[in-house]
């Protein structure tokens, strides 16, 4: 498909054109990515959207929770929901299962929803290096609520906060205590903490965990947006706590509908500009393989060798 065909398809809300444009954005072929960049530049920034980043440890129920949230959001006819799901890549084959669309059967069948699974590739931090471009393309296609599901690997997985307006952390009942709640890292940037899987025998433990995290969050420094983090108890399986969560997301969006949101997104763009410079530099590292091999054989320290190459 040509750039013009993709632009016209995206204007008409054709999900196949959107998928093709995202594939171009994720491509390692420079000419294809250039087409994706030109499409994004054609549509320009969309400010009246909400980007929600969602993370949590594997098995916490992210996909089920996201589907419940998406289905509930689409009860509002003004909403269009895109889900960008990042799956971990194999260190050996670089492949991914990309099974989240299969998990979200109900949401994927709804015409106002779009689900796109992607591989994390070699990128650390829980997202892929071109997830930001996928967000922009979804917004160009008219999706006003973007749910970004990260890989979900641990406490240092905060890069998803560099893509989202609202950062949500899912935890399991009994998933920690006050000390866990005040640890630096992922808790420091969470706007909403959801204690998920609060069903069956887990209900009481979920309530206790929520209270512990609420106490811990009061000890952390204020966020730049002056939003007071919220803790919600939910069960995606029993559809409990989903509507209160959506209401808190709406409250957050209303709270940041000022200069902070624009400032925040510009700060994110500066981060990704530097990150892309890093990607480009790393892509050129293989041309130094012979110099590295020779230097190591001659007993040069790796730190000294790196400085010599860059000087």
For residue range 179-225, what is the model confidence (pLDDT) as tens digits?
454 445 677 788 999 999 999 889 999 999 898 888 878 777 777 88
Residues whose CB is less than 8 angstroms from the CB of residue 51 and which lie 6 or more positions away in sequence, other chains included = 135, 146, 148, 163, 164, 165, 166
Q: Is the pLDDT of residue 102 over 70?
A: no
Residues 220 and 108 in one domain: yes
Token pair in block for residue 252 = 């957050």
Residues 150 and 227 in one domain: yes
Residues 122 and 226 in one domain: yes
Query: What range does the domain containing 269 cover?
Result: 260-311
CA-nearest of 50, 86, 87 to 70 is 50
Name the band, by pLDDT with cuts 50, 70 and 90, for residue 249.
Answer: very high
Q: What residue has token string 């591989």?
A: 119
Half-sphere exposure of 197 (CA within 13 A, CB side): 18
pLDDT at 97: 45
Residues 101 and 224 in one domain: yes
Name the band, by pLDDT with cuts 50, 70 and 90, for residue 40.
Answer: very high
pLDDT at 184: 52
Q: Is the pLDDT of residue 20 over 90?
A: yes
As a whole number, the mean pLDDT across the chain is 86
Residues 129 and 55 in one domain: yes
| Burial (CB count within 10 angstroms: exposed 0-12, middle 13-18, buried 19+), residue 14 | middle
Residues 162 and 270 in one domain: no
Last residue of a domain, one of 237, 257, 277: 257
Q: What CATH number has the domain bearing residue 16? A: 1.20.5
Residues 32 and 55 in one domain: no
Q: What is the mean pLDDT of residues 130-150?
A: 95
Residues 38 and 52 in one domain: no
Residues 213 and 243 in one domain: yes
Say which residue, 162 or 185, is predicted with more confidence.
Answer: 162
pLDDT at 98: 52
Residues 246 and 190 in one domain: yes
pLDDT at 138: 97
Name the band, by pLDDT with cuts 50, 70 and 90, for residue 90.
Answer: very low
CA-nearest of 11, 66, 40, 5 to 272 is 40
Q: What CATH number has the domain bearing residue 69? A: 3.40.50.300
Say which residue, 48 or 183, is predicted with more confidence.
Answer: 48
Last residue of a domain, one of 220, 241, 257: 257
Q: What is the mean pLDDT of residues 11-28?
A: 94
Residues 185 and 210 in one domain: yes
Which letter, b or e, does each residue of 119-152 get, where b requires 16 or more Cβ atoms within 10 Å of its Cβ? bbbebebbbbbbbbbbbbbbbbbbbbbbbbbbbb
> What is the number of structural domains in the chain?
3
CA-nearest of 253, 182, 260 to 215 is 182
Residues 52 and 158 in one domain: yes
Q: Which of 23-32, 108-117, 148-157, 164-173 has the lowest mean pLDDT?
A: 148-157
Q: Are 98 and 19 in contact (CB under 8 A)?
A: no
């Amino acid at each position: 498909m040509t750039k013009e065909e993709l632009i016209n398809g995206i204007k008409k809300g054709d999900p196949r054109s959107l998928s093709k444009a995202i594939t171009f954005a994720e491509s390692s072929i420079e000419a294809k990515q250039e087409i994706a960049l030109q499409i994004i530049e054609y549509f320009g920034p969309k400010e009246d959207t909400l980007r929600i980043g969602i993370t949590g440890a594997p098995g916490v129920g992210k996909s089920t929770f996201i589907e419940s949230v998406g289905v509930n959001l689409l009860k509002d006819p003004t909403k269009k929901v895109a889900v960008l799901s990042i799956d971990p890549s194999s260190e050996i084959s670089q492949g991914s299962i990309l099974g989240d669309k299969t998990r979200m059967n109900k949401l994927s069948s709804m015409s106002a929803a779009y689900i796109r699974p992607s591989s994390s590739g070699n990128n650390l931090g829980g997202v892929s290096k071109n997830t930001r471009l996928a967000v922009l393309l979804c917004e160009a296609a008219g999706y006003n609520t973007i749910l970004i599901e990260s890989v979900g690997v641990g406490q240092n997985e905060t890069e998803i906060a560099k893509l989202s307006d609202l950062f949500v952390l899912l935890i399991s009942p009994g998933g920690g205590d006050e000390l866990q709640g005040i640890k630096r890292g992922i808790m420091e940037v969470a706007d909403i903490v959801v204690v998920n899987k609060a069903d069956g025998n887990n209900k009481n433990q979920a309530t206790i965990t929520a209270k512990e995290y609420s106490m811990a969050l009061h000890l952390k420094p204020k966020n730049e947006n002056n939003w007071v983090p919220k803790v919600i108890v939910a069960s995606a399986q029993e559809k409990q706590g989903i509507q209160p969560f959506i209401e808190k997301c709406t409250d957050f969006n209303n709270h940041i509908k000022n200069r902070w949101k624009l400032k925040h997104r510009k700060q994110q763009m500066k981060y990704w500009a530097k990150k892309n410079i890093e990607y480009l530099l790393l892509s050129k590292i293989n041309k130094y393989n012979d110099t590295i091999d020779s230097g190591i054989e001659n007993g040069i320290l790796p730190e000294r060798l790196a400085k010599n190459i860059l000087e």
